Amino acid sequence: MSGLTKTLARGAVLTAAGLLLAGCFDLTVDIGLKNDGSGTLTTEVVFSKEMTDTFKSTGGKIPQPKNVNGGRQTSTMRNGQMVQTNVMTFTNVSGLKMAGQALEVSDGGRTWFGAHRSGIAWSSGGKPGKKGEPPPDKNNPFYKAMMAQFAGHYVTVTMAVPCNVEHADPIKVNGKTVEPSVEGSWSNGATVRWKIPLLDMISDEHPSDSRFALQCWSWYGIVPGKSKVVAGAAATPGL
């Protein structure tokens, strides 16, 4: 094969890869809790405009996927992008049944001034790295093209809680530490947000279970509970 032919073949491969990998997305998981243990868990996937345009150009219709983990799932178009949303409502954490995910609220006892302490954690199972599996060739043009598709996309986990946050745990991924942001006040509750580059999650050669956790206090406390993990595919891609 001549040098020119090789160059054209390589270009064709990368073009095809670009079309396939244009399916990048931004993922958001929003957890909203109330003092009585009820709340909502919303998962939203916003597909890239490139993927949406490619999908529309093939004449495809917006898919209406089945409900996941008992939630209400919808697909729609927003600002030219396809958005899939799954909303779960629950009256108490212990009544939740999810595949590949877990939500737990624990009782941390009382503070010195009599308020209730609570621990809140949400986790989603990842894929552990296989021992003996060779690392990817990061100089491979296909690998570089694939990684470039994930740049500028994020996985965001948000917890809106009816308490004053004392501490929120950082997340470690791909050798980096992601510190959460905390907004709010002791009287109005708080919102904790972890924003993780999708590229780091994809590049992590030894991903493990992701766990987002915080500790907080409130005057009335939060009803403790632990969701049940059942068999099935996880509802949250990428984590």
Strands (E), 9-153: 25-33, 39-47, 72-78, 81-90, 97-99, 101-110, 116-124
Note the pLDDT of residue 19. 38
Give tens-digit pLDDT for 9-18. 333 333 333 4
Q: How far apart are the first and last CA of the chain?
A: 42
Q: With 0-12 CB in 10 A as exposed, 13-18 as middle and 19+ as buried, what is 77?
A: exposed
Note the pLDDT of residue 10. 35
**Alpha-carbon dihedral sign for residues 118, 126, 74, 97:** negative
Note the pLDDT of residue 133. 56
For β-strands 189-197 and 225-226, DSSP reports them as unpaired
* Mean pLDDT taken over the chain: 76
In order of 22, 43, 127, 144, 170, the CA distances from 151 in angstroms are 11, 21, 21, 11, 21
Give tens-digit pLDDT for 139-182. 666 666 666 677 778 889 999 999 999 999 999 888 889 999 99
Burial 202-235 (b: 16+ CB within 10 A, else e): bbbeebeebebbbbbbbeebbbbbebeeeeeebb
**Residues of the chain scoring pLDDT < 50:** 1-22, 127-131, 234-239
Note the pLDDT of residue 66. 56
Note the pLDDT of residue 53. 67
Tokens of 163: 């308490």
Which residues lie below 8 Å from residue 39, measured CB to CB, with a gap of 6+? Answer: 31, 32, 33, 89, 90, 93
